[in-house]
Amino acid sequence: MSNAMRMLETYPKSINLDRAKLAAIDSLKACAQTCTACADACLSEDMVADLTKCVRTNLDCADICETTARVLSRHTGYDANISRSLLEACATACRACADECAGHADRHEHCRVCADTCRACEQTCRDLLATMS
């Protein structure tokens, strides 16, 4: 059982979202970590100047994933419009990061791993969005 799910199960009041889908919080956190690590790995490459956009996209995606995870972790006074907007932004950031990293994946394994993680996180965001009314 994921840490997010363990915490969601302890929440004392009802939650207007599918708790199993909301456990996507763990996926968001994992994506943020992967993007941060990929940015750092890009900075360690000899051709770092060619990876500037990749670093920027990684860091943007990491920040958006972290922020989305934090907001989704709060349910008191929940605002579906804010959560939906953040999930849409997160899916967009994940797609952009995955596309950017995929362009370097044949030369940099860390970019391949990041692209795969971002694509999975994008899908997780879209799955949760589909459950929101």
According to the model, what pLDDT value does residue 18 have?
A: 67
Q: Which CATH number fits domain 18-131: 1.20.1270.360, 1.10.275.10, 3.30.70.1450, 1.20.120.920?
A: 1.20.1270.360
Instruction: Read off the DSSP letter of residue 50.
Output: G
Q: What letters, b where the CB count within 10 A reaches 16 and e where it falls short, cover 7-23?
A: ebeeeeeeeebeeeebb
pLDDT by residue for the chain (133 residues), tens only, comes to 566 666 566 565 666 666 666 768 889 999 999 999 999 999 999 999 999 999 999 999 999 999 999 998 886 667 889 989 999 999 999 999 999 999 999 999 999 999 999 999 999 999 999 988 6
According to the model, what pLDDT value does residue 72 have?
A: 87
Name the strand (E) or helix (H) holding 123: helix 109-131
According to the model, what pLDDT value does residue 15 have?
A: 63
d(CA 78, CA 88): 17
According to the model, what pLDDT value does residue 106 have?
A: 96
pTM, two decimal places: 0.89
